[in-house]
């Protein structure tokens, strides 16, 4: 049945209408790289929309929820009103209907393609954020609350996971970077692991501190398994999934909006959860029902599906990694080449290509830096409240032009504050 016309139906149905400019941004003639809406009239052509990320007038450096790919947002805009001619919004559909069934199946198969996920791993689309996995992991992988586990803590998120695990197992803190303000990752053979540990937990990329594992430790015990919180570098590069027992990630950084957490778990680890495990935290509940035990976060899963398609269209994670390395490389080079004006405290070998924290040597200028950047259309650059300074989150969907514009602004700001 055709949708009834409303005064706003044209706006709702036409994904290609020019976007309104949210901010009255004025181009700064002092630096040359600009985002499209700042300097030119918004385009109405589909090609221009697809080719000009950033044409909403800003570059969003938020750590999550974070910027999403423009083509994905435009596709979602159309499906939001009338999903592929069904007469229903993607948000209005039953999770048991045929349309959503194909959405979730396609999302899973595209993710399997992207990460080459072996068949002996299940992919679950869950709720509760990565924070819920801090409890779900020990509940599913330990047979009782007295089982020992190892935690290697390289930032605040790993520390939160360690603390939550204390309720459900006996976690052992085998290394913590806290005394060095989470700027390092130790060499793995320096770390004494517990040979009886059921698993070794790491946070693959610490979002607040900008520290990323470049390779992964092997658990000392051959029956033990490696568990990784990959929330902030999920699908930013290829990963050998077979090295892990469980990978989990909140979607809202690299692959979608908030509301869905993806868990990739080796199938033989499913089905031995502790008796106290709530049904919603038991991986078996969700593996047995293909993530449809109860109402799933349908819209968030649909959005992840669009992002996975978009990543595949760009050549998959090998290509994505190259793009990310380029963006991060030029930003870190600018910081390191600033003669100490900008400082990144993280040891070079473990710097994150996703979250780039930096401070100003003249810390009294940081507030001004953030305010001026925001006026120029570069928003959400304030560092996490626990560390201060600035943080540029440059996930997959941040275009190179956004990083180039930030760099041009940083150079100009430095020149104006000798």
Ligand X SMILES: Cc1ncc(COP(=O)(O)O)c(C=O)c1O
Residues annotated as part of the active site: 157, 229, 253
65 binds ligand X per the rule CB under 6 A: no
When the beta carbons of 232 and 334 are compared against ligand X, the nearer one is 232
Task: Give the sign of the dihedral formed by CA 281, CA 284, CA 285, CA 289.
Answer: positive
Q: Please report which helix (H) or strand (E) contains residue 277, including its range.
A: none
Q: Work out the number of other CB atoms within 10 angstroms of the CB of residue 321.
A: 16
Q: How many residues bind ligand X (CB under 6 A)?
A: 11
When the beta carbons of 261 and 334 are compared against ligand X, the nearer one is 261
- Choose the stretch contacting ligand X; rule: CB under 6 A; options: 127-135, 178-186, 297-305, 339-347: 127-135
Among 15, 42, 129, 316, binds ligand X (CB under 6 A): 129
352 binds ligand X per the rule CB under 6 A: no
250 binds ligand X per the rule CB under 6 A: yes
When the beta carbons of 31 and 199 are compared against ligand X, the nearer one is 199
When the beta carbons of 231 and 285 are compared against ligand X, the nearer one is 231
Tokens matching residue 339: 């003669």
Q: Are strands 148-153 and 199-203 parallel, antiparallel or unpaired?
A: parallel
Cβ–Cβ < 8 Å for 211, 232: no
291 binds ligand X per the rule CB under 6 A: no
When the beta carbons of 199 and 369 are compared against ligand X, the nearer one is 199
When the beta carbons of 204 and 360 are compared against ligand X, the nearer one is 204
245 binds ligand X per the rule CB under 6 A: no
3-state secondary structure of 60: strand
When the beta carbons of 203 and 394 are compared against ligand X, the nearer one is 203
Q: Which of 69, 41, 40 is nearest to 53 (CA)?
A: 69
Residue 277 CB, shortest distance to ligand X, in Å, is 19
- Choose the stretch contacting ligand X; rule: CB under 6 A; options: 128-136, 181-189, 386-394, 397-405: 128-136
Letters for 22-61 (x = contact with ligand X by CB under 6 A, - = none) are ----------------------------------------
Residue 329 CB, shortest distance to ligand X, in Å, is 22
273 binds ligand X per the rule CB under 6 A: no
Chain residues 172-201 in contact with ligand X, contact rule CB under 6 A: none
Residue with token string 């697809």: 50
Tokens matching residue 359: 């401070």
154 binds ligand X per the rule CB under 6 A: no
For ligand X, the nearest residue by Cβ is 129
- Choose the stretch contacting ligand X; rule: CB under 6 A; options: 123-131, 175-183, 189-197, 295-303: 123-131
Which residues are CB-contacts of 172 (< 8 A; sequence separation ≥ 6)? 148, 149, 150, 151, 194, 197
When the beta carbons of 300 and 320 are compared against ligand X, the nearer one is 300
Which segments of 79-203 are extended strands (E)? 121-126, 148-153, 170-176, 199-203
Residue with token string 């309720």: 167
Q: Which of 149, 133, 246 is nearest to 200 (CA)?
A: 149
3-state secondary structure of 63: coil
Please classify residue 270 by burial: count the beta carbons closer than 10 Å to its beta carbon, then call 0-12 exposed, 13-18 middle and 19+ buried.
buried
159 binds ligand X per the rule CB under 6 A: no
Please tell me the chain's helix, strand, coil percentages from 3-state DSSP, rounded to the nearest 5: 40, 15, 45
Q: In whole angstroms, what is the distance from residue 356 CA to residue 344 CA?
A: 8
Letters for 199-238 (x = contact with ligand X by CB under 6 A, - = none) are ----x---x---------------------x-xx------
Residue 132 CB, shortest distance to ligand X, in Å, is 7
Among 59, 125, 157, 199, binds ligand X (CB under 6 A): 157
DSSP symbols for 241-266: GGG-SEEEEESTTTTS-TT-EEEEEE
164 binds ligand X per the rule CB under 6 A: no
What phi, psi does 170 have (nearest 5°)?
A: -110, 80
- Choose the stretch contacting ligand X; rule: CB under 6 A; options: 106-114, 126-134, 346-354, 360-368: 126-134
Which residues are CB-contacts of 260 (< 8 A; sequence separation ≥ 6)? 125, 126, 127, 250, 251, 296, 297, 300, 301, 304
- Choose the stretch contacting ligand X; rule: CB under 6 A; options: 5-13, 129-137, 212-220, 334-342: 129-137
Q: Which of 327, 334, 351 is nearest to 155 (CA)?
A: 351
What is the binding site for ligand X (CB under 6 A)? Answer: 64, 129-131, 157, 203, 207, 229, 231-232, 250
């Amino acid at each position: 049945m055709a949708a009834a016309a409303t005064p706003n139906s044209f706006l709702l149905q036409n994904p290609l209408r020019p976007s309104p400019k949210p901010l009255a941004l004025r181009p700064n003639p002092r630096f040359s790289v600009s985002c499209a809406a700042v300097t030119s009239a918004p385009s109405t052509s589909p090609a221009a929309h697809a080719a000009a990320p950033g044409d909403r007038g800003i570059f969003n450096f938020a750590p999550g929820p974070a910027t999403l790919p423009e083509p994905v947002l435009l596709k979602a805009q159309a499906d939001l009103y009338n999903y592929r001619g069904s007469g229903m919004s993607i948000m209005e559909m039953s999770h048991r209907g045929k349309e959503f069934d194909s959405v979730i199946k396609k999302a899973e198969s595209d993710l399997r393609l992207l990460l080459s996920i072996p068949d002996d791993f299940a992919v679950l689309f869950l709720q509760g954020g990565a924070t819920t996995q801090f409890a779900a992991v020990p509940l599913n992988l330990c047979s009782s609350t007295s089982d020992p586990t190892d935690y290697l803590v390289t930032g605040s998120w790993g520390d939160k996971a360690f603390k939550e695990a204390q309720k459900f197992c006996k976690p052992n803190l085998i290394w913590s970077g806290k005394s060095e303000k989470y700027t390092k990752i130790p060499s793995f053979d320096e770390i004494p692991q517990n040979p009886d540990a059921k698993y070794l937990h790491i946070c693959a990329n610490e979002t607040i501190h900008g520290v990323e594992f470049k390779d992964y430790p092997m658990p000392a015990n051959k029956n033990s398994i490696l568990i990784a919180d990959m929330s902030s570098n999920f699908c930013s590069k290829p990963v050998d999934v077979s090295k892990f027992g469980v990978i989990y990630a909140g979607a809202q950084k690299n692959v979608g909006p908030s509301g869905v957490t993806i868990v990739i778990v080796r199938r033989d680890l499913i089905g031995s959860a502790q008796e106290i495990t709530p049904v919603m935290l038991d991986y078996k509940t969700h593996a047995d029902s293909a993530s449809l035990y109860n109402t799933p976060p349908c819209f968030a899963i649909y959005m992840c599906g669009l992002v996975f398609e978009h990543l595949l269209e760009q050549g998959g994670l090998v290509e994505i990694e190259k793009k990310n390395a380029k963006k991060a490389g030029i930003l870190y080079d600018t910081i390191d080449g600033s003669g100490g004006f900008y400082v990144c405290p993280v040891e070079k070998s473990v710097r994150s290509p996703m979250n780039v924290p930096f401070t100003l040597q003249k810390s009294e200028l940081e507030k001004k830096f953030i305010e001026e950047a925001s006026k120029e259309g570069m928003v959400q650059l304030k560092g996490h409240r626990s560390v201060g300074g600035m943080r540029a989150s440059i996930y997959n969907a941040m275009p190179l032009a956004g990083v180039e514009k930030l760099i041009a602004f940083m150079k100009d700001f430095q020149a104006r504050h000798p």
